[in-house]
Amino acid sequence: MSSHISPSKAVDYAISKYRAKKEPRIIAKFVKVNVPYPPKKLALLVFKKEKTILLWGKDQNNKWRYVSTYPLMASSGSLGPKLKEHDKQIPEGIYKLTMFNPYSNYHLSMMLNYPNAFDKLHAHYDGRKKLGGEIFLHGKTFSVGCLAVGDDAIEELFLISRRAGLDHIRVVIAPNDLRIAKPATNLYYQPKWLPELYNQLAKVLKQFPVTT
C-alpha cells in the first residue's frame, strides 16, 4: 500500500480488512441493546483494578446503554494517576480519543488526549513538568503505561470508534468501579487533589447504571 495516502484513507483501508468479519457481530451487539449503529455517542469505562473496559452507547432516547465488556489484557503501574513521564502509570480522568493509528506496532491503536486540561492545571500547581504523553488504547497483550486489549478487541473498538467518529467518544479511566465502591487507591502517597478527581469520576459514572 502506498505511503502517500492520506491518514483518513489509511484508517479506512485498515478497517476494510476486518469489516466483513467483525461488523456483523458488532451490529448484533448494538441491536440487542437497542442502540443505533453507527452509534451517535460512545463511552469507554476503564476500571484498572477490575482490568475491564466497558463499552456504552446512547440509544434513540439519549440514554446510555451497556453494549459490551473487553478485558484489559495488560497494564502497568499501580492505582492512581499518571504524574510524570516514564512513571509507567496509566492516566486516570476523563479523556477523548484524538487519533487512529493503523500502523501501530501493537496491531491497531487509538491515542488519548493525555495530558488533558485537568492534568495540565494540577501539574502547574504542583510544579511538575514532563508529564509524558502518547497514551494509547491498543492491541497485543503487553503494555507499559497504555491500555492493551488484545488484537481481537482492538479490531472491534477501532471499527466502532471510526464509525462513531472521534468527537463522539469519551474515555473514563478510574482506579476501580466507583459506581459500586470507594476508590481503592492508597491516598497516602498521592497528590492532595486526587479526591477531587475521584469525586468527578464518580459523578460522571452515575450516568452508567450497574448491569447484572
pLDDT score, position 3: 54
Beta partners for residue 109, in sequence order: 101, 138
> How far is it, in rounded angstroms, from Cα 75 to Cα 94?
18
Tens of pLDDT, residue by residue over 150-206, are: 999 999 999 999 999 999 999 999 999 999 999 999 999 899 999 999 999 999 999
Residue 16, CA distances (Å) to 37, 50, 65, 135 in order:
17, 32, 27, 25
Tens of pLDDT, residue by residue over 21-73, are: 999 999 999 999 999 999 999 999 999 999 999 999 999 999 999 999 999 99
Taken in order 159, 160, 161, 165, is the CA torsion positive or negative?
A: positive
In the chain, what are the domains? 7-205 (2.40.440.10)
Q: Which range (7-11, 111-115, 124-128, 180-184) has the least confidence?
A: 7-11
